[in-house]
Structure 1
Amino acid sequence: MKTNIIRRSMLVTALLFLSLAFGGCKKFLDIDLPSDTIAGENAFVSDASSSAVVSGIFLNMMSNTYFTSNSIGLKAGLYADELQNLDVNATSNEAFYKNALNAGIVTQWEGLYRELYKCNVAIKGIKESSGLSSKNQWLGESLVCRATLYFYLVNLFGDVPLALTPDHNVNNKLSRAPREQVYQQMILDLKEAQSLLGTAYTDGFAQPTSTRGRPNRYAATALLARVYLYTGDWASAEAEATSVIEAGTSVFDLVPHASAFLANSKETIWALSPPATGLAPDYNLYNAGAPAIVATPAALTVKTPLSQSLINAFEPGDLRFTEWVRRATTTTPASTYYYPNKYKSAVPGAEYQILLRIGEQYLIRAEARAQRNNVAGAVQDLNAIRARSRAAVPGALPDYAATIGQDACLAAVAKERRTELFAEFGSRFFDLKRTAAITAVMTAEAVVKGGAEWQNEMQFWPIRVEDTRLNPNLKQTPGY
């Protein structure tokens, strides 16, 4: 009973803080109500209130539109070559699918910056607070969150304003910072988080827990490995990924596909926990209990199936296709549609929305090793992923040979990333950009989609016109 009362108190504190501090937003970095400062200062006088604020950030990351109906994964999948759109009347989905974006369609910019403001309030408040027994945890978690949000911002929008303070007088005059500078800030944040966080998973009371819904040192390290990969620091990417993998199978493991996305599986490094009565957003987006057989395509309740090119990327005997792809058939005409099916459960709390998982770390290390011409080491990691995915049928997913050349190995990495990480928060879209494959792939996809002719500047999305009007230092994304 006491625990429930404390939890309710923490939730009330978080909701009060969030409603005061963020309810008056007028633009993406414009938060200037006097109550903001008061609420921010008062929110960090105790561990309970500090934890409540940070917990509120996690809650908003889970429930905000960029992880649900306007999911980064959904929109990026439509925009790139992972998903189709069957409903031309779904205006937003159709615009993303046809690569015909305008500033009014894209909502992720504002949502990500709203969460960044909350992170900056928390980081400043926690750093300046004294007497917090779990100060390191609250600060480390906030730093991981800020780095996560900036990761998606630079990969969706390119150069972005680097806001590191809750001071709106500073933020609302910011111009776009080069992506390299933003990545360097992510690295600083994640290294600081590594120094603050422990390897154990802890809850909102700073107590050990089996729940993996809050980032720990491994989460900071896994995200740092990804950032190093994206910035081309191969040696550091390999080292950080190795430190996560070498935590051992008692902590992280390539578990069977059917259980990989269950809550707190050993696949998980960090996941967002849904509310008590909620489900993983990707279950609602791609499954939602949709029937396996319907009469016509119009009767399909989920209108965003996998693209044909992604379906073709799976080899025979690949359990990722068997276990992570759902089929829906129509009788008139007789057709089959395929959907992401990594999240399968309609039971609240059975699945968390995974942000970081061990499978990706093997692929990060494989790519870093291949780039450093350690092909044998890279192949070892690729084959670990394939071994988990190999069906018990003759000839299924043969191992890559350790003698393949560097170029062939990098091509194998790209192929395995596509079939392993599909429909996971824009991974494929980001991979196409960072490997300079985006123009060739999307030029071909434009023909399939019947959309706009692909232009290289389309790889970054437009921002809100209102923000460019209110801040003369902030320029629209080139090409829009």
Structure 2
Amino acid sequence: MSMKKKLSYILSGILIIAFYSCKKLVEVDPPITRTTEGSVFSTDDNAIAVVTNIYESLSQQDLSGNGSLMSLSAIGGLYADELNLFDATNTGLNLFYTNSLNPTVTGPWGNYYATIFTTNTVLSGLGHSATLSPAVKTQLKGEAEFIRAFCYFYLVNLYGDVPLVVTPDYKVNSVLSRSPVASIYQQITNDLLNAEADLSSDYLDGTLKPYGGSPERVRPAKAAATALLSRVYLYQQKYAEAEIYASKLIADSTYALVPLDNVFLKNSKEAIWQIQPTLVTATQEGRFFVLPPGGPGMGQPVYLSDTQLNVFDVGDGRRTKWIDIASGFYFDAKYKVGGIVVQAPVTTEYSMVLRLAEQYLIRAEARIKQHKIDAGVGDLNILRGRARVAPTSQNPNPLPPLPIGMSAANAMKAVERERQCELFCEWGNRFFDLKRWPSATNPSISLADEELSQVKKNWKSTDKFWPILQDDIVKDPALKQNPGY
């Protein structure tokens, strides 16, 4: 049997176990034996392949599948106020669009836990291996810690309290209840701090060696942990820490803001972490969001909402460069290759997961919350400067800088607007922002309750968190359902 085929069988075994762990979450069949674990993590090549498979799996996930990790850019935009659904007969997407989720809808719950199970298996295997190269073991440990933290970040923001699964031991996992949000964030922070220490500063290739030329940014490097840490601190209202971690990346010459047309290209200098398409040469975002000339249809069923279109000021290049129109329907055109074109001659774009522009937005908000309002507004103006179109005789001063001396309330409104203009249709950022910010007029409710109740016919406050899968609750009585379901 060839090494490639043998490795394929090993990986398949791990993925089958992960699949069952996602279907049952904590009531799973006995995991890989120590003997199998030993064979997987006995050589560098085998161990690297297990972790690489996580990224390959992400790259192949369809945005229209509401159970995939990657689908959050689509279902998050539909659930909030960024996207409209063209075809109401698309039952899976319509449940998100009409905020009509129920406990039988899987959502991304199962796939996040399947990936967590894989990372726990990796961490266990690495811990028991005495034959891996120290550098490979350390890097893979950092990657597994980062991916686990990444998954838990989305779980805690989508579902609130969730089971904290940190071992592949099915006996332990089968009786878990939901852990408080604070405990989940503590685990995320610990994993990211460990990952930041373990991950290489350089981007590494498929053999975990530094690139000889221009590096691909598809394996998480140290900066990915730093970037997610800054976001995690911001969400926990630890503003001083958020500012510090965002500043690390802004000061790093490895990264830079690039022209709007170049942001989503592969290996863009703005990219902190990207996912490389592996089955076709177009990104999943391009294939899903980019409309064909005839407008939306079965394969591209969404288009931009008026709420999203109306947020841009005159002279904002993000409106002209990142939005296009087909048969009267405006669509997200951050990615140019996609729609009915699923196979371009060469891959020119990678899916963006973490990028430098978000770090300016994080630092701006963190500074404003620490009463460093002018400094925070300065960060927003850097992004506005990048987005500004060329002056014309009709518009001699497009997208002017925000004024110095703004009030804290107005500066936060500017943060919201800039995040809407910059991060739309990216990984559910808008939905999470609406949930974490209080209403300016009624601080006892969230901005989600204030704004989404105006655009969603059936919006309820309990809709801010999604339902736990009923099958898991039946199998594990320790799990309790979210209110409202």
Report if TM-score (shorter chain) is over 0.5: yes
Does the 8 Å contact 1:10/1:51 carry over to 2? no
CA separation in 2, counterparts of 1:46 and 1:244?
34
**AA aligned opposite 1:258:** D
Residue range with higher mean Cα deviation, 9-18 or 431-440:
9-18
Q: Distance in 2 between matches of 1:62 and 1:37?
A: 30
Equivalent position SS for 1:386 = helix
DSSP 3-state at the match of 1:479: coil
**Alignment check: 8 A CA contact 2:229 2:245 kept:** yes
Aligned length: 460
Matched, 1:28 2:31: no
Structure 2 equivalent of residue 122 of structure 1: 122
Q: Which of these residues, 239, 242, 251, is aligned with residue 247 of structure 2?
A: 242
Q: 1: CA distance between counterparts of 2:65 and 2:262?
A: 22
Cα deviation, 1:146-205, whole Å, max 9, x if unaligned, reads: 010001101111111111001111112111111111011111001001111121100221
> Structure 2: which amino acid aligns with 1:326?
D
Q: Is the 1:10–1:52 contact (alpha carbons within 8 Å) kept by the matching residues of 2?
A: no
Question: Which has the higher mean CA deviation after the structures are superposed, 223-232 or 349-358?
Answer: 349-358
Paired residue for 1:102?
102
Q: CA deviation at 1:232?
A: 0.5
Shift of 1:276: 5.1
**How big is the shift at 1:131?**
3.1
5 Å-filtered alignment, 1:28-427, equals: 28-33=25-30, 35=32, 37-64=34-61, 70=67, 71-133=71-133, 134-209=136-211, 210-248=215-253, 251-275=254-278, 277-287=280-290, 290-292=291-293, 294=294, 302-329=300-327, 336-346=328-338, 347=344, 349-393=347-391, 394-427=396-429
Alignment of 1:401-480 (within 5 A): 401-437=403-439, 439-442=446-449, 444-449=451-456, 451-452=457-458, 454-480=459-485
Report Cα offsets for 1:335-379 as digits up to 9, x if no partner. x21111111125353211111000000100111111111112111
Cα distance between partner residues in 2 of 1:343 and 1:381: 25
Secondary structure of 1:84's aligned partner: strand
Distance 2:258 2:240 in 1: 27
Find the aligned partners of 1:38 and 1:291 in 2 and give their Cα distance.
51
User: SS of the residue aligned with 1:327?
Assistant: strand
Displacement of 1:444: 4.9
Distance in 2, Cα, partners of 1:113 & 1:24? 10
Matched, 1:12 2:2: no
For residue 442 of structure 1, report the CA deviation from its aligned partner: 4.7
The letter for the 2-side match of 1:277 is V
Residue 342 to residue 11, structure 1, CA distance change in 2 (3 Å) = farther
Is this contact kept in 1: 2:449–2:461, CA < 8 A? no
Is the alpha carbon distance of 1:430 and 1:317 closer, same or farther for their aligned partners in structure 2, counting shifts above 3 Å? Answer: same
CA displacement 1:377-401 (0-9 Å, x = unmatched): 1111111100110001222111012
Shift of 1:51: 0.4
Distance, in Å, in 1 between the alignment partners of 2:184 and 2:401 is 38
1:30-61: CA deviation from partner (whole Å, max 9, x where unpaired): 33245455433321111111101111112223
After superposition, the C-alpha distances for 1:275-317 in whole angstroms (9 at most, x for unaligned) are 1534311111111xx433x3xx776863211111110001111
In structure 2, what is the equivalent of residue 332 of structure 1?
Answer: none
Q: Would the alpha carbon gap of residues 68 and 351 (structure 1) be closer, same or farther in structure 2, given more than 3 Å must change?
A: farther
Partners of 2:30 and 2:170 within 8 A in 1: no
Pick which of 17-26 and 153-162 moved more.
Answer: 17-26
Task: Please give the secondary structure, in 2, of the residue aligned with 1:369.
Answer: helix
Q: Output the CA distance in 2 between the equivalents of 1:444 and 1:406.
A: 20
2-side partners of 1:56 and 1:37: how far apart?
21
Give the Cα–Cα distance (whole angstroms) in 2 for the partners of residues 244 and 129 of structure 1: 34
Q: Distance in 2 between matches of 1:172 and 1:300?
A: 39
Structure 1 residue 129: deviation in Å?
1.6
CA separation of 1:364 and 1:433: change in aligned 2, threshold 3 A = same
TM-score (norm 1): 0.90
Higher mean alpha-carbon deviation, 104-113 vs 206-215, is at 104-113
- Once the 2 structures are TM-superposed, how far is the Cα of residue 206 of structure 1 from its aligned partner? 1.2
Deviates more, 1:19-28 or 1:418-427: 19-28
Q: CA deviation at 1:85?
A: 1.0
Q: Is residue 225–residue 236 contact of structure 1 (8 Å, CA) maintained in 2?
A: yes
Gaps of 5+ in 1: 330-335
After superposition, the C-alpha distances for 1:192-248 in whole angstroms (9 at most, x for unaligned) are 011111211002211112000010111110000010010010000000010111112
State how far apart, in whole Å, the 2-side matches of 1:39 and 1:31 are: 17
Contact (CA 8 Å) 1:325, 1:342: kept in 2 or not? yes
Distance between the aligned counterparts of 1:241 and 1:382, measured in 2? 14
Q: CA deviation at 1:441?
A: 4.7
Counterpart contact for 1:13–1:52, Cα < 8 Å: no
